[in-house]
Amino acid sequence: MERLPTFALGLTVGLVLADSSVVILALPEILDQFNVAIDDVAWVLTLFNLVLALAAVPAAYLARSRAPDLVCRAGLVVFAAASLGCALAPSFEVLLISRGVQALGGAAAVCAALELLPAQLNSERRAAAVWAAAGALGAAAGPAIGGFLTQAISWESIFYVQVPLAVAAAVLLPRATERSARAPAGRPHIAANVALGLLSASLTAALFLVVLLLINGWGHSPLSAAAVVTVMPLASLVSYRLLPSTGAPRVRAACGAILVGGGLLALAVLPGADWWWLVVPQILIGAGLALALGALTEDALAGRSPLAIHGGWTIASRHAGVCIGLLILTPIFTGDLMDQQNAAEASGTRIILNSSLSLTQKIDLGSRLVEQIQSGAVTKPPDLKPAFEAIGNTPEIRKLEDEIQDQIDRAVTHAFSGSFLVAALMALAALIPLATRGRPEL
Amino acid sequence: MSRGAWWIAIACVVAVVPAVVYVAAGGRDFKPAASGNPCDARKWPSVDGTDQILQQAALSAIDGAACKLGVSSEALGLALTSQDKLDQFAKDNGISQSEVEQAARAGLLRAVDDGEASGEINGVTAFALRIAAQAVPIDRLIQLVRDQVYG
């Protein structure tokens, strides 16, 4: 069964890289359970990506200097143990430490997997393509899988599920074959790695902000949000099968970056607060992801030896990009959200003041709305229905409710526009290093 | 044009189409309604009874005061819900007591103007109210507006 070891290597890469985004839909549950601030809970995501970015290149050198199959197994065992630590974490601090350890083990496993793949596939090019595709699919599918598990079972189940998968991959890994003499690693492909970082920063927005918009903005459950964001990995998978995988990697990467930029641009100008508006932009982003991440990773690895070291650089670039994306986009989004809360409050006030309700009803409704907003969870949009139901069920009151709900939907949706626009610019900025034609190493 | 350039051109077209369609469907305007200009006259709807006249007058007064202070009517309306909020609002916007007084009187004059323009207040009453607006103590004036809007 030659396919099993290859599958185990793909599973290793997909499993570890899915972890960079798998907890996105679980963050509100984690926030509630550990009672931490919104800024703090984002570290569950950021820390994993930060440690992965920092550990990837040293882990690649380790995989190169020791037996890669042993390094990969050891990495998977550490990853599995840390996943168990995340699931059983009694405090937020333990959860964060476990996430850091998970990233350390994951870095070793992913980089060593790239050292093992060429022998399995008898081709360095195919190895790079399979490694890149597994990583891209894992990252894209992460939020949907995490959301499904969170809603169906609990956020801890995300980490429990990873334990047997990591152990199974460790058992099925192939043995390392004899390697040729170890040549010193050449310089990394700077243009491709910079483009990977920029594209990953923009993809953070696509994954993180779409999920936030669905759950925290529009009030969807993690399960329905997971169903909506499944469009992205599906589009990625279909595009990977249908779109040409031959041709200049730079052209494929440029087309992918343009599609991701276009999808994010469409998200910045959403004309409504309904989930179906997210479908077409996600298809563009998924297709762009399949084209660009694969092509850029291939470009970064093409003709470079040893593969594991250069693979380590691509992991470092991608996850540094994710961290930079989070660091740039979070303050923009937070600031816009506050501005839009004020705008929604002002327009709601105007609607109530100018309505034809009696004075008593206006006062009653106003105080009930304030009560509902203050009593709601910070991770969910306020449920205003009880406030309106309490003062009556006339057509006029229902119309007022619709008008105010419409203003809230507009405010929440518009709060994400600036971040999506900046993310679109980041995706398009990836074209700049790609345009350095003839100078592959800047 | 090379094959690669064709692919990039096709990608550009495919990427731009959804954003263009979304903008055409109103994407750029899908945001909360902007505050109206408080300096514009408020057209009173056809009102019936003293309560409704006073309520419309209070809303016009808020517009007039907001216009004088250079703030939105909604922000001032929210601040008027309690004395604490009003004090905080004045502090946040650097508004002095004398400016509050001038704004309140401007608001009352505006209410008279809007009421007269809407035909709900006759000329003689409007004349008397304008004189009263210059003479009524300011704290009574603010309380009057607050009572009419918030009870």
Q: A175-194, pLDDT tens digit by residue?
A: 766 655 556 666 778 888 89
Q: What distance in Å separates the CA atoms of residue A265 and residue A428, rounded to the nearest whole number?
A: 10
Worst-scoring range by mean pLDDT, A143-152, B59-68, B135-144?
A: B135-144
Give me the pLDDT at residue A13, please. Answer: 87
Check CB contact under 8 Å for B149 and A346: no
Q: Which of A251, A274, A404 to mutate against chain B (most B CBs within 10 Å)?
A: A251
CB of A173 closer than 8 Å to CB of A71 = no
B80 or A179, greater pLDDT: B80
Give whichever of A111-115, A284-288, B3-7, B78-82 has the largest mean pLDDT.
A284-288
Q: How far apart are CA A308 and CA A59, in angstroms?
A: 9
Residues A183-186: contacts with CB under 8 Å, at least 24 apart: A183/A305, A183/A306, A185/A61, A185/A64, A185/A305, A185/A306, A185/A309, A185/A310, A186/A304, A186/A305
How far apart are the C-alpha atoms of B55 and B53, rounded to whole Å? 5
CA distance A277 to chain B (A): 9
The DSSP result for A186-244, as a single string, is ----HHHHHHHHHHHHHHHIIIIIHHHIIIIIT---HHHHHHHHTHHHHHHHHHHHHS-
Longest dimension (CA), chain A: 87
Pick the more confident residue, A273 or A173: A273
Q: Any CB–CB contact under 8 A between B35 and chain A?
A: yes
Q: Do A350 and B27 touch (CB under 8 A)?
A: no
Q: Any residues with CB less than 8 A from the CB of A336 and at least 6 apart, and which?
A: A414, A415, A416, A417, A418, A419
Contacts within 8 Å (CB) and 24+ apart, A318-321? A318/A53, A318/A135, A318/A196, A318/A197, A318/A200, A318/A293, A319/A20, A319/A49, A319/A50, A319/A52, A319/A53, A319/A56, A319/A200, A320/A49, A320/A53, A320/A197, A320/A200, A321/A196, A321/A197, A321/A198, A321/A199, A321/A200, A321/A201, A321/A204
- B36 in contact with A at a CB cutoff of 8 Å? yes
Residue A109: predicted pLDDT: 92
What confidence score (pLDDT) does residue A101 get?
A: 96
* Domains of chain A and any CATH numbers: 3-174+188-336+417-434 (1.20.1250.20), 337-416 (no CATH)
First to last CA, chain B: 73
Cis link prior to A306 (omega < 30° from 0)? yes
Please answer whether residues A191 and A441 qualify as being in contact, where contact means their C-beta atoms are separated by less than 8 angstroms. Answer: yes
Instruction: Please give the pLDDT value at position A81.
Output: 95
CA distance A263 to A380: 26
pLDDT for residue A398 = 84
Cβ separation of A281 and B72 shorter than 8 Å? no
Q: Which amino acid is at A111?
A: C
Strands (E), A37-120: none
Note whether B75 contacts A: Cβ–Cβ < 8 A.
Answer: yes
Looking at residue A184, its pLDDT comes to 63
Overall average pLDDT of the B133-146 stretch: 70
Asked if A255's CB is within 8 angstroms of B74's CB, the reply is no
Question: Does residue A314 carry a pLDDT above 50?
Answer: yes
CB contact under 8 A, B3 and A247: yes
Amino acid at A126: R
Residues of B in contact with A360 (CB under 8 A): 151
- State the residue for tokens 């599920």: A161
Q: What gap in Å lies between CA A110 and CA A315, rounded to an integer?
A: 9
Residue B17 has pLDDT above 90, yes or no: yes
To 10 degrees, what angle do helices A359-375 and B138-150 make? 80
CA distance B99 to chain A (A): 23
pLDDT bin (cut points 50, 70, 90) of residue A260 is very high
Nearest to A373 by CA among A411, A332, A418, A399: A411
Query: Are A265 and B35 inside 8 Å of each other by CB?
Result: no
Task: Specify the pLDDT at position A92.
Answer: 94
- Token digits for B140? 């009574």
Triad B15, A23, A34: Cα angle to 5°? 140
Burial of A307 (0-12, 13-18, 19+ CB in 10 A): buried
The predicted pLDDT at position A374 comes to 64
Burial zone of B52 (CB within 10 Å; 0-12 exposed, 13-18 middle, 19+ buried): middle
> In the predicted model, what is the mean pLDDT of residues A45-65?
87
- The count of residues in chain B is 151
Measure CB to CB from residue B30 to each of A251, A270, A353 and give the nearest one: A270
**Tokens linked to A197:** 């970082």
Phi, psi of A355 (to 5 degrees): -75, 165
* Cα A379 to Cα A216, A407, A419, distances in angstroms: 6, 19, 19
Q: Answer positive or negative: Cα dihedral of A303, A308, A311, A316.
A: negative
pLDDT at A77 over 90: yes
Stretch A425-439: mean pLDDT:
80
Q: What mean pLDDT, rounded, does chain A reach?
A: 83
**pLDDT value of position A351:** 83
In the prediction, which pLDDT does A107 show? 92
Higher pLDDT, B139 or A256: A256
For B38-70, what is each residue's pLDDT tens digit? 888 888 877 677 777 777 888 888 889 888 888
Taking the C-alpha atoms of residue B111 and residue B103, their distance in angstroms, rounded to an integer, is 12
CA distance B138 to chain A (A): 23
The beta-carbon neighbor of A347 closest among B16, B27, B32 is B32
How many CB atoms within 10 Å of residue A301? 29
Percent of chain A scoring above 90 in pLDDT:
24
- Per DSSP, A358 falls in state -
Choose, out of B30, B56, B148, the residue to mutate when testing the contact with A (most A CBs < 10 Å): B30
Residue A441 contacts by C-beta under 8 Å, 6 or more apart in sequence?
A: A187, A189, A190, A191
User: Does the complex come out with an ipTM higher than 0.90?
Assistant: no
pLDDT at position B149 over 60: no
Contact A182, A403 (CB under 8 A): no
Residues 6+ apart with CB under 8 A from B19: A262, A265, A266, A268, A269, B27
